[in-house]
Homo-oligomer: A and B are copies of this chain.
Amino acid sequence: MTQVVAVMGRGVVAPGVGLVTADDLGLTRGDGYYDAVRVVVTDGHTRVDHLDRHLQRFARAADALELPPLVEADWRALIAEAVAAWDTPGEAVLKLVRTRGPEHSSSEPTQFLTITTAADATQARQGVRAVTLSRGTASDAFRDAPWLLGGVKNLSHAVHLAAKREAVRRGVGEAIFISTDGFLLEGPSAGLIIAAEDQLWTTPTRGTGILPSVTVEVIMDAARAEGVGASEALFRPEDLADADGLWLASSIRGIMPVRELDGVALPYSADLTRHLAATAGF
């Protein structure tokens, strides 16, 4: 596994070295945030997908966590240096990380990035099976409760990973969180797109706590530009029988049609899947 690691103020460093102190609040408390961007190397040319949108989301998260604003020019320079050092053909993950920094020795955020080869998502892009797992909260639980950090891609993702392990335990590849009032919310690391009534839908962010997905935004904006409706709504699993399809959308893994949810086959269109994937750059 090749890996590029770059640290704010230091540039590219050797991967595998100890980077973060034992008392860094990102490590001891998950107190920080990140973003993940797809990098594609083809025929010696390197592409970084939707970087502006990712940097916008990355900047917004600082406010929610009351961390100092990021210096965008510094991040763009660090990213450029790291991307220049990456030449592995195929798809990779550029991960940007900011933490609150060492608890006892600094008031400066810890800031670094990594580039690593992405896991092969070819099969998932053909179709996935998913189970719904309770997120424990109602669909409006995050309204007026900013301390719950809804919509913030923070480092505290232990529950997201535990949900993925639970999905595997149940014999499928993906989990979709469901609210206690019965609405589909999002995957642990993917947004939702639904095609129904001749338009596209996604689940609303804000009060639901759902993370605004860059890939979903790209697709919804493109649909509107094509004159196709693109709106937000909450769906129950049973609504999907009348829909034209459900997709998980990830910046890294792409557009994954959900062919089966909780053991029930879902409507599926290969044409629509190809169109959505192409729209998002996959």
How far is the CB of A63 from the nearest CB of chain B, in Å?
12
B-facing residues in A8-43 (Cβ within 8 Å): 15-32, 34
**Pick from B22, B25, B112, B160: contact of A19, CB under 8 Å:** B22
- Of the listed stretches A49-57, A149-157, A192-200, A243-251, name the one at the interface; the rest are far from the partner chain: A149-157
A162 part of interface (Cβ distance < 8 Å): yes
Chain B residues near A103 (CB, 8 Å)?
116
A148 CB–B CB distance under 8 Å: yes
* Residue total for A at the interface (Cβ-Cβ under 8 A): 64
Cα distance A282–B106 when bound, in Å?
A: 30
B66 touches A155 (CB 8 A): no
Residue of B20, B134, B138, B141 near A18 (CB, 8 A) is B20
The chain B residue sitting closest to A134, CB to CB, is: B145
**Cβ of A158 < 8 Å from any Cβ of B?**
yes
Q: Oligomeric state, in number of copies?
A: 2
Cross-chain contact B1 with A105 (CB below 8 angstroms): yes
Interface members, chain A 223-270 (any B CB < 8 Å): none
Q: Is the CB of B162 within 8 A of A105?
A: no
> Given contacts A16-B21, A112-B22, are A158 and B104 in contact (CB under 8 A)?
no
Give the nearest-CB partner of A5 in chain B.
Answer: B22
Chain B CB within 8 A of A159 CB: yes
A-B CB contact pairs (8 Å), 25 listed: A16-B102, A17-B21, A18-B20, A20-B24, A20-B27, A22-B112, A22-B114, A23-B116, A27-B97, A29-B157, A30-B30, A31-B161, A103-B116, A104-B116, A134-B145, A134-B148, A136-B138, A136-B142, A136-B145, A137-B141, A146-B162, A146-B166, A147-B165, A147-B175, A152-B158
